[in-house]
Amino acid sequence: MRKTNYSPIIFLFFFLFSLLFSIQGQTLSKKIDRKDLKQYVSKLASPALEGRRTGSEGKRLAAEYIAEQFRRLGLETRLEEFSLTESYRGETYLETASGKRFKDYEEIMFQGTNYYNEEVEKEVVFGGYGRPEELESIDLKGRIVLIFSVDHKTGVEAYSLLRKTEAEGLIVVPVDRPARFDAERDRMKEYTLRHRFFMPNDPNAFVQPIALDTMRFLNSYVLRVAVVKELMGMPENKLEQYIKTNKITDVPVVPVKIKFERAQKEVTTANVVGLLPGKSEETIVVSAHYDHLGKKEAHYYPGADDNASGVAGMLELAEAFAGRKDLPYTLLFLAFAAEEEGLVGSKWHVNHPDFKAENVFCNLNMDMISRVDAEHETAENYIYCLGSDRFPQLHDVLLKADSLYDDCFIDYSLNQTGGMFSLYSMTDSYNFVQKGVPALFFTSGLHPDYHKTTDTADKINYRLLESRVRQIGLVLELLQQIQEN
Ligand SMILES: [Zn+2]
């Protein structure tokens, strides 16, 4: 509670305002209903929508579904379509002299960023255990050096030596621990083969670990021990003999053919917009991203909390306000595409020439609002709000809204997660902030099903979701009052 050092008249004003507001608030609350929320979440997280991956049919169906809801509510509905470049690893193999093709992630794993989009011919030279004296003894120029790794350091050390030479690449054969191939594959495969999306002409949208990228001017490959013979023309124990007798230079160089394709194609995706005009053109943007991670082999990522819950909240708020002709502010309900690809949909929206930052009063964004994180197991009806520490006028509104609604409490503690990579800076809200628009980000935080195929609709707490959306609805209602002052 605030300290009441107001004069009695001001106090009376606040009291009347609160009373008036609590009546409006109750009407609003009644319209936000867990049955509707459940219906929205169930639909968006259903198998038919295939995890709503950017560029997929499931995502297109999700956009269509959201647009359909906006139209049903009488909002001015449109799609903000835009194209993205989809980039992914294409055909990738190493072919031996005898014509046997080792496929990526089957017999060999490709790591690196020096692509061969067309098949090239290279030579593989044997480098023993990759020790400095061994590497010095062989002709490295333009060749791929195959070494036996005898402990976890071998490959790393050979790599850092070879990157200073004219060698073309490094093949590591984990003779010490053949199972390392499978362990490595399980660790890397999903990340490596993941399709990336970025805006044409926007290299920043294509997030890559920069330090790693500049280091890795050599491709490295991990080869299954079992196929060494097929590649080198002799089994590994014979090769070991050459090492033992200091004669690795006698091992014949073998020719190979390699293809390592970086494929690209253009895909179209869309933000979905529903506009509810107010008396002023000044707009409050209520947003949530609707895309998610798609499918992984036989399974799909339902993304029920991430972010069917936020979209459901946005749709339910649209429903609660739809039909109101007296709104001071225009409300723009906005479902963002391609958030999972690096906040691309919101970035596109705020960079479009039609976007006028001076006409946007603020943004309220919801992402993952239906679960309980580890910090709140005993006080589960909370909602984190981030960004209010930067915008005191919004913070006052939040305090007021929180005091008017007992059920849910607003937790500001994530505001303190600072630094360059603060949570706030990794949200769609932040793209508004960068254009000078105040923005609030609402979330219930992380949980063990985050970005897993287990983020399913049956784990959603609809009672909490309803309560949280009501709380956000009160914030929205109070924001509407501000202009009257
Ligand atoms: Zn996500």
In the reported structure, the alpha carbon of residue 304 is separated from the centroid of ligand 1 by a whole-number distance in angstroms of 10
In the reported structure, the alpha carbon of residue 451 is separated from the centroid of ligand 1 by a whole-number distance in angstroms of 6
pLDDT of residue 445: 93
- pLDDT for 237-268, tens place per residue? 999 999 999 999 999 999 999 999 999 899 99
Lowest mean pLDDT across 147-151, 194-198, 220-224: 194-198
In the reported structure, the alpha carbon of residue 430 is separated from the centroid of ligand 1 by a whole-number distance in angstroms of 15
The pLDDT of residue 313 is above 60: yes
The CA-CA-CA angle for residues 287, 290, 296, to 5°, reads 155
- pLDDT for 374-403, tens place per residue? 999 989 999 999 998 889 889 999 999 999
In the reported structure, the alpha carbon of residue 291 is separated from the centroid of ligand 1 by a whole-number distance in angstroms of 8
In the reported structure, the alpha carbon of residue 367 is separated from the centroid of ligand 1 by a whole-number distance in angstroms of 8
In the reported structure, the alpha carbon of residue 444 is separated from the centroid of ligand 1 by a whole-number distance in angstroms of 13
Contact call for residues 292 and 340 (beta carbons, < 8 A): yes
How much is the average pLDDT of 74-80?
96
Concatenate the DSSP letters of all residues of 213-276 into one string: HHH--SEEEEE-GGGHHHHHSS-HHHHHHHHHTT-GGGSPPEEEEEEEEEEEEEEEEEEEEEEE
pLDDT of residue 209: 43
In the reported structure, the alpha carbon of residue 75 is separated from the centroid of ligand 1 by a whole-number distance in angstroms of 27
The pLDDT of residue 150 is above 90: no
In the reported structure, the alpha carbon of residue 290 is separated from the centroid of ligand 1 by a whole-number distance in angstroms of 10
In the reported structure, the alpha carbon of residue 339 is separated from the centroid of ligand 1 by a whole-number distance in angstroms of 7
Here the tokens at position 379 are 């006080």
pLDDT of residue 24: 61
Identify residues whose C-beta is under 5 A from ligand 1, the ion.
Answer: 306
Contact call for residues 347 and 205 (beta carbons, < 8 A): yes
Q: What are phi and psi of 283, to 5 degrees?
A: -125, 140
> What class is the 91-262 domain?
alpha beta
pLDDT of residue 416: 67
In the reported structure, the alpha carbon of residue 340 is separated from the centroid of ligand 1 by a whole-number distance in angstroms of 5
pLDDT of residue 203: 53
Q: Which residues of 286-302 are buried (b: 16+ CB within 10 A; e: fewer)?
A: bbbbbbbbbeeeeebbb
In the reported structure, the alpha carbon of residue 289 is separated from the centroid of ligand 1 by a whole-number distance in angstroms of 9
In the reported structure, the alpha carbon of residue 450 is separated from the centroid of ligand 1 by a whole-number distance in angstroms of 7
Cα–Cα distance measured from residue 148 to residue 154, given in angstroms and rounded to the nearest whole number: 8
The pLDDT of residue 107 is above 80: yes
pLDDT of residue 14: 55
- pLDDT for 419-478, tens place per residue? 556 788 889 999 999 999 999 999 999 999 999 999 999 999 999 999 999 999 999 999
In the reported structure, the alpha carbon of residue 34 is separated from the centroid of ligand 1 by a whole-number distance in angstroms of 23
CA distances from 19 to 14, 327, 401, 404 (A): 8, 19, 12, 9
Q: What are phi and psi of 334, to 5 degrees?
A: -140, 120
Cα–Cα distance measured from residue 221 to residue 228, given in angstroms and rounded to the nearest whole number: 13
The pLDDT of residue 96 is above 90: yes
pLDDT of residue 18: 60
Q: Which helix (H) or strand (E) holds 121?
A: strand 116-126
In the reported structure, the alpha carbon of residue 303 is separated from the centroid of ligand 1 by a whole-number distance in angstroms of 8
Q: Please indicate whether the domains covering 31-86+265-479 and 91-262 agree at the CATH topology level.
A: no
pLDDT of residue 298: 81
- pLDDT for 265-288, tens place per residue? 999 999 999 999 999 999 999 999
In the reported structure, the alpha carbon of residue 46 is separated from the centroid of ligand 1 by a whole-number distance in angstroms of 17
In the reported structure, the alpha carbon of residue 38 is separated from the centroid of ligand 1 by a whole-number distance in angstroms of 19
Contact call for residues 57 and 50 (beta carbons, < 8 A): yes
- pLDDT for 13-32, tens place per residue? 555 566 555 556 667 778 89
Hey, which CATH number is domain 31-86+265-479, 3.40.50.970, 3.40.630.10, 3.40.47.10, 3.90.1170.50? 3.40.630.10
The pLDDT of residue 75 is above 60: yes
Cα–Cα distance measured from residue 375 to residue 77, given in angstroms and rounded to the nearest whole number: 39
| Per-domain residue ranges of the chain | 31-86+265-479, 91-262
How much is the average pLDDT of 328-348?
94
Contact call for residues 240 and 149 (beta carbons, < 8 A): no
The pLDDT of residue 204 is above 70: no
In the reported structure, the alpha carbon of residue 26 is separated from the centroid of ligand 1 by a whole-number distance in angstroms of 32
Here the tokens at position 164 are 């200073």
- Mean pLDDT score of the chain, rounded to an integer? 89
In the reported structure, the alpha carbon of residue 477 is separated from the centroid of ligand 1 by a whole-number distance in angstroms of 28
The model's confidence at residue 176, banded by pLDDT at 50, 70 and 90, is confident
pLDDT of residue 2: 34
pLDDT of residue 186: 87
pLDDT of residue 112: 87
Among the ranges 25-34, 200-209, 330-339, which has the highest mean pLDDT value?
330-339
In the reported structure, the alpha carbon of residue 6 is separated from the centroid of ligand 1 by a whole-number distance in angstroms of 45
